[in-house]
Amino acid sequence: MASTVNKTTHTFDKSRLDALLNRRFFYAPAFEIYGGVAGLYDYGPAGSTLQANIIAEWRKHFIIEDGMLELDTTIMTPSAVFETSGHVARFADWMVKDVKTGDVLRADHLVKSVLEARLAGDKEARGQEAAPPTEDKKRKKKAAKVTVVKLEDAVVQQYETILAQLDNYGGPEIGELCRKYDIRNPDTDNEVGEPQQFNLMFQSSIGPTGQHKGFLRPETAQGHFLNFNRLLDYNNGRVPFASAQIGRSFRNEISPRAGLLRVREFTMAEIEHFVDPEDKSHTRFKEVRDVEIVALDRHTQEAGNSETRRITVGEAVDKGIIANETLGYFVARIYQFLVNIGIDPARLRFRQHMGNEMAHYATDCWDAEIQNTTGWTECVGCADRAAYDLSVHSAKTGTPLVVRQALKEPIVTEKEAAEWNKKALGKTFKQDAGTIQKIVEGLDETGLIKLKGELSQGSTTLKSEEGKEFTLTPEVLTIERKTLKQSIREFTPNVIEPSFGLGRILYCLLEHSFWAREQDVERGVLSLPPLVAPTKVLIVPLSAREEFDPIVAEITAKLRRAGVFSRIDDSNTSIGKRYARNDELGTPYGLTIDFASVQNRTVTIRERDTMDQRIGKIDDVIATVTELVFGNIDWAEACNRLPKYDGVQAVE
Ligand SMILES: Nc1ncnc2c1ncn2[C@@H]1O[C@H](COP(=O)(O)OP(=O)(O)OP(=O)(O)O)[C@@H](O)[C@H]1O
């Protein structure tokens, strides 16, 4: 970590952060000069590099560390794929319409915002917020239409229970809540109609005829499943293995109003870990057993509250709170990744899905939620999807998507088996022969024993699905007990899926990193860790005089060779202003080049958060800053190596 600095006195101000992100072009509404489109954003240089650095760390942390197989599959997907996966029927959210204006709102979000606003109004009425409201609180209050009204205790309790269980409700239940609690459109105060489902996929057509329906994918997962056989082959036919993909996804969100937290086009990073359904242990689980997370489990929420507990991943798996080791392994690795890139661990929790919230086929699901000014937001989903996806694609296409495993010890079993006299079968039953064989193949052990008994008495009668009857004799069919040796085990693997939304993570990281110095509240500082900061080192020559050029060139080249991304700021403003500008960009270190640099070959290094400055010989400072950037040392260690700069001294 770079430094310790007291940022606690600073009150977070979202409007200042938004202004900074816009001013420094981290991101901005797309097509702005055409009026923009809700839920579409462009990233500028700082935002793009920040995202690229988060992705680079993601690749290192997951793909390289666990030898995952990387994929890049298509976005445009034929309709059949999403019909089979269930997206065409079920990838939908509930929306409600304002009965007078026709404005469309996402139903669960409406209930949440209205009830939260009422609870905030109640809290204020009860005088629990003694401190005078800050600008930010006033702004939020206005946006959420908070009116200060004290509620009955029982009503407060009901609202809290509803909010804890909101993700568990379907459309009809949400409709009932709207009526029961008089939930209206906050913008107009009009009533809203019954919730209706709205499919979130963007539809398109492939080719000029318009006959081949397609969709822009709403997640990258299907590309992994459809390539399963090739991936399995690439992995020498063995499971477990994981595939990973980083790419764009598209969702036609109902009313995206939360900046990067809810957009219509975004970058996802997804892992599909294929595992034997009978053995979901993980060989590296012991390495993460002691990782402690804040967990909000299913039972707590279903009982109507939101109390969390600290628990190690090891204990959670041992007690069956997290379903299996592989899921636990990923929960821990997700925690480590998010904290490494700078997410505040005090504002990170893992929330388990409730029964109704989870897809019907999933066995367990945990969301990494990050707290920000809008509340707790799911940023990573981590689900055990069982064998659902591979099974449905296999059934639809007739392509087996299975693992065949040679058994160490063959399994020997005794079974009743049908023995056909094919000639007699064909002669007697002609075109019905196939149907008859199918009926017998479909019988279980008990059915075959029954048949055997009947045949031993002379004949048996079978009935087809259509109700046609066939009488069989021992001349056509006999049932015999046989010893069978099975040396191959065939199974459909289960899938554990961690799914990351990079925009949500990036935005929460910006919120967690943002603060302002007491002496300069107008400007902000982004305390991004060097690992992800867009620029690692700012090179600041005292002025644009030519005599500094050779040293600037030398330092730039040496940093480049060391793999440290730097930028030069030789603009015509004071050094203080140049540093302030780069504090806003999150640049962790600055090197100042002045006349002493030319005379004595010294430079000063400044740390962003403390503004502490140290001085040293050029090569020593470059070596130190390189180690700082790569996280090998912290600022305290840098201070041991380099003396404090008091503004005048030179270094021998
Ligand atoms: N509209 C969106 N904008 C930005 N990121 C998104 C959006 N929808 C999903 N994501 C990201 O993709 C990840 C995986 O998607 P998933 O389908 O689990 O989300 P979800 O449960 O549909 O999210 P929500 O309930 O918030 O709509 C999420 O954890 C999130 O980070």
Chain-centre distance for alpha carbon 143? 28
ipTM of the complex: 0.98
Verify whether ligand 1 is closer than 6 Å to residue 83 (CB atom).
no
Task: Tell me the residue type at 508.
Answer: C
Verify whether ligand 1 is closer than 6 Å to residue 504 (CB atom).
yes
Q: Are 539 and 557 in contact (CB under 8 A)?
A: no
- Highest mean pLDDT of the ranges 118-122, 469-473, 505-509: 505-509
Instruction: Compute the distance between CA of residue 114 and CA of residue 184 in angstroms, rounded to an integer.
Output: 8
Verify whether ligand 1 is closer than 6 Å to residue 271 (CB atom).
no
Inform me whether the pLDDT recorded for 246 exceeds 60. Answer: yes
Q: Give percent of the chain with pLDDT exceeding 70.
A: 95
Q: Which of 108, 222, 266 to mutate to test the pocket of ligand 1 (most atoms within 8 A of CB)?
A: 266
Verify whether ligand 1 is closer than 6 Å to residue 268 (CB atom).
yes
| Mean of pLDDT values over 253-269 | 94
Region of 150 (left: φ > 0; alpha: ψ -120 to 50; beta: rest) is beta
Summarize pLDDT for 545-566 with one digit per residue, the tens: 888 999 999 999 999 999 999 9
Q: Just give the CATH number of 407-489.
A: 3.30.720.200
- Sign of the alpha-carbon dihedral angle for 481, 484, 490, 494: positive
- Confidence at residue 523, expressed as pLDDT on a 0 to 100 scale: 85
| Mean of pLDDT values over 250-267 | 94
Q: 380 CA distance to ligand 1 centroid (A)?
A: 8
137 contact partners, CB below 8 Å, separation of at least 6: none
Average pLDDT, the chain: 92
Chain-centre distance for alpha carbon 598? 50
Round the CA-based radius of gyration of the chain to a whole number and report it: 32
- Confidence at residue 652, expressed as pLDDT on a 0 to 100 scale: 35
Assigned fold of 535-641: Rossmann fold (3.40.50)
Verify whether ligand 1 is closer than 6 Å to residue 503 (CB atom).
yes
- Confidence at residue 234, expressed as pLDDT on a 0 to 100 scale: 98
In this prediction, residue 140 has a pLDDT band, given cuts at 50, 70 and 90, of low
Scanning the structure block, which residue is given the tokens 């065939």?
Answer: 490
Q: Which of 43, 94, 504 to mutate to test the pocket of ligand 1 (most atoms within 8 A of CB)?
A: 504
| Mean of pLDDT values over 469-475 | 92
Inform me whether the pLDDT recorded for 586 exceeds 50. Answer: yes
Inform me whether the pLDDT recorded for 305 exceeds 90. Answer: no
H helix or E strand, kind and range, residue 22: helix 14-23
Q: 612 CA distance to ligand 1 centroid (A)?
A: 40
Minimum mean pLDDT among 9-13, 288-292, 350-354, 411-415: which range? 9-13
Q: Is the peptide bond before 133 cis (omega within 30 degrees of 0)?
A: no
Whose alpha carbon is nearest atom 25 of ligand 1?
Answer: 378
| Mean of pLDDT values over 268-291 | 98
Sequence ranges of the domains in the chain: 41-74+217-389+494-505, 92-199, 407-489, 535-641
Minimum mean pLDDT among 186-190, 379-383, 503-507: which range? 186-190
For residue 587, report the phi and psi dihedrals to the nearest 5 degrees. Answer: -70, 115
Verify whether ligand 1 is closer than 6 Å to residue 251 (CB atom).
yes
For residue 388, report the phi and psi dihedrals to the nearest 5 degrees. Answer: -50, -60
| Mean of pLDDT values over 239-251 | 98
Q: 251 CA distance to ligand 1 centroid (A)?
A: 9
Higher-confidence position of 131 and 332: 332
Instruction: Compute the distance between CA of residue 625 and CA of residue 482 in angstroms, rounded to an integer.
Output: 75
Instruction: Compute the distance between CA of residue 200 and CA of residue 95 in angstroms, rounded to an integer.
Output: 11
- In 281-377, alpha helices (H): 285-288, 298-302, 313-318, 325-340
Q: Are 603 and 552 in contact (CB under 8 A)?
A: no
Verify whether ligand 1 is closer than 6 Å to residue 501 (CB atom).
yes
Q: Are 385 and 228 in contact (CB under 8 A)?
A: no
Q: Are 110 and 96 in contact (CB under 8 A)?
A: yes
Instruction: Compute the distance between CA of residue 215 and CA of residue 198 in angstroms, rounded to an integer.
Output: 15
Whose alpha carbon is nearest atom 11 of ligand 1?
Answer: 501
Tokens of 533: 């900061």
Q: 293 CA distance to ligand 1 centroid (A)?
A: 21
Verify whether ligand 1 is closer than 6 Å to residue 266 (CB atom).
yes
Domain spanning 92-199: which CATH class is it, in words?
alpha beta
- Confidence at residue 589, expressed as pLDDT on a 0 to 100 scale: 98
Summarize pLDDT for 398-442 with one digit per residue, the tens: 999 999 999 988 989 898 999 999 999 999 999 899 899 989 988
Scanning the structure block, which residue is given the tokens 């066995």?
Answer: 363
Q: Just give the CATH number of 41-74+217-389+494-505.
A: 3.30.930.10
Minimum mean pLDDT among 71-80, 197-206, 438-447: which range? 438-447
Verify whether ligand 1 is closer than 6 Å to residue 524 (CB atom).
no
**Which 3 state secondary structure label does DSSP give 27?**
strand
Closest CA to 270 of 578, 453, 533, 500: 500
In this prediction, residue 269 has a pLDDT band, given cuts at 50, 70 and 90, of very high
H helix or E strand, kind and range, residue 157: helix 153-165
